[in-house]
Amino acid sequence: MSGPEVGLALSVLAACAVEAVEALTIVLAVGATRSWRSALTGVGAALLVLAVITAALGPAVTALPLGVLRVVVGGLLLIFGLQWLRKAILRASGLKALHDELAAFESEQAAARGAGGLGGLAGGLDAYSFTVAFKGVLLEGLEVVFIVLTFGANQHNVPLAAAAAAVAVVGVALAGLVAHAPLSRVPENTLKFGVGVMLTSFGIFWGAEGAGAHWPGGDAALLAIVPATLACALGMVRVLRRARVGAARRDAVGA
C-alpha cells in the first residue's frame, strides 16, 4: 500500500469510527430506554436511504473530471476540517468541554423518557425511537458517505475507502453489541483532533491541485502538509493553554 493509500485508509477509518460511535450512542439510548425493535427498524430504514444516496451520487461523483472534483472536494474538506480542528483545539486547550459520550447517552435517555408514551407508527412501532434512530444514523451516515466518496474518488480508490469505512462501522457496532453501553472509552476527542488534521491537510492538498497549483514533490507533499498542519494545531493549543493559565493566575491574584 502506498503512502497516500495508507493516509486515505487511516483518515476514512478514524473519521467513520467517530461518526459510528456517535450514531451508536443515539441508537443505544433510545433502544434501551424505549423500544429496541423500533430503534433497529429506524437504523435499517436509514441504511436503506444511505444506500440509495450512495448509489445515486457515487457514479456522478466518480464521473466528474478530476480537476473539478479536487477543487470542489478539496474546498469542502478544508471547510469541514477547519471546523473539526477549531473545536478540537478549543477542547484540547480547555476552552470547550470535552465531548463525553456517556453524558450524551444520559441526555439522550432523559429526552427519550420524557417523550411520552410508546407507539404511533404502523406495526406497533414507537414513532419516537424510530425517528430518533433514523435521524441519528442518517445524519452521521451522510458524513461517512461523503468522506468515502470524496476520499475514494480523489485517490481513484473508492473500494479501499469503502472497506476502511466498513471496518470502522462494523467494528464500532460489534464493540457496542458486546459492551451494550456507549463507547465512552474510545479516545473520541483525540480521534477528532486527528481527523481534523487529516481533513484539513487533504483539503489543502486537493484544493490547491484542483485550482491548478503544482505541489513540489507531487503526492509526497502530503508527507509535509500533514505534520505541518498537526504542528500548527498543537502550537495553537499550547498558546491558548498558556493564555488560559495566565488569565486564571491574574484572576487569582486580583481576587
Partner 1 sequence: MARVRGFGAFLWDFVVGDDWRSAVGVAVALGVTAVAAGAGVAAWWIMPVAAVGLLGASVWRAMG
Which residues bind to partner 1, rule: CB under 8 A? 71, 74-76, 78-80, 82-83, 85-86, 89-90, 95-96, 142, 200, 203-204, 207-208, 210-216, 221, 225, 228-229, 232-233, 236, 240
Contact 75, 203 (CB under 8 A): yes
CB of 142 to partner 1, least distance (A): 7
Whole-number Cα distances in Å, 78 to 70, 199, 203, 208: 11, 6, 4, 11
Asked whether the beta carbons of 59 and 141 are under 8 A apart, the reply is no
How many helices (H) and strands (E) the chain has is answered by 8, 0
Four-point Cα dihedral 95, 101, 106, 107, nearest 10: 50
Closest to partner 1 by CB, 130 vs 206, is 206
For residues 52 and 79, which CB has a smaller minimum distance to partner 1 in the complex?
A: 79
Q: Least separation, in Å, of the C-beta of 204 and partner 1?
A: 5
Residue with cell string 480523489: 154
Q: Which residue, 56 or 170, is less far from partner 1 as judged by CB?
A: 56
Q: Which three cell numbers stand for residue 77?
A: 474538506
Residue 26 beta carbon to partner 1: minimum distance, rounded to whole angstroms:
17
Least Å distance, CB 150 to partner 1, is 12
**184 contacts 22 by C-beta, under 8 angstroms:** no
Q: Which is nearer to partner 1, 101 or 209 (CB)?
A: 209
CB of 57 to partner 1, least distance (A): 14
Q: Tell me whether residue 93 or residue 155 sits nearer to partner 1 (CB atom).
A: 93
Phi and psi at 109, nearest 5°, equal: -65, -40
